Structure 1
Amino acid sequence: MTRLPAHLEVAGLIRAVEASGGFAAVLHKGEREAGTILVVLTENGANTRLFERMPSVETGREWICTLVQDPENKPEFNQVLERRTARDRDLWIIELDIADGERFIP
């Protein structure tokens, strides 16, 4: 199965969220064709979660929530993102601010 280039997948996510009345932004721009994509989902700046694709026996790869922002320690979430980008400069980080954001990541 051929993978959609990262920049096209990112552009599609942004357009879909904005068309549904939400806000979307690229927090870190990665490698155009094959960069890994992380998605930060938030709802009016609250309930912030990090999703990334992980290997799955059933589907090959699926989106999994790997981090939930602690409201008592918000800087920790951003520190995790900074460490990830420092380790992987090809990484894309996209923020989607919309209710029920999981519907946009199949």
Structure 2
Amino acid sequence: MVAESQDSARLTSAILVNALVRRTNAAGGFATIIVKGDETSGVILVQVLEKGKETGLFERVSNFAGGYALMRCGPSLEDGPEALATYVARRRRSDPDLWIIELDIPEAERFAAETIC
């Protein structure tokens, strides 16, 4: 029997994103893929809403324990939607493999962290 390396056992970005979308929709929320990134290893940004109101932007990042966490990123909500749009456009220019997922479900940050981290 050949042991799998840690890298080969990781789930792809596409699998994680699709699981998040399906799980959110099954729980009565709304999830959509705004930007489709690299299937294997694209960075995942989660745009969080609750009842249609923007509550934050989070990035899936590796943590020091060998796992993943969601970290708030981008401008503050007080900076307005234009600042968020500018930030997302800049990130897309610098990383064309980036995924952007929109979630509208109560406690979306926790929900996303349970699914993709």
Normalising by structure 2, what TM-score?
0.80
Aligned equivalent of 1:25: 32
Q: Offset at 1:92?
A: 0.4
1:10 to 17, 20, 24: 17
* Alignment-derived partner of residue 88 in structure 1: 95
| Greater share of residues in strand | 1
For residues 60-99 of structure 1, what are the structure 2 equivalents within 5 Å?
60-67=67-74, 68-70=76-78, 73-99=80-106
Structure number with greater Rg is: 2
* C-alpha distance in 2 between matches for 1:73 and 1:40: 14
Size of the aligned set, in residue pairs, is 105
Structure 1 runs (4+) deviating above 6 angstroms are none
Q: What do residues 27-80 of structure 1 show as CA deviations (whole Å, max 9, x unaligned)?
A: 11101111111111111221421111234224543111123422x622111111
* Structure 2: segments with no counterpart, 5+ residues: 1-5
TM-score by length of 1: 0.87
RMSD after superposition: 1.6
Runs of at least 5 residues in structure 1 that lack an aligned partner in the other structure: none
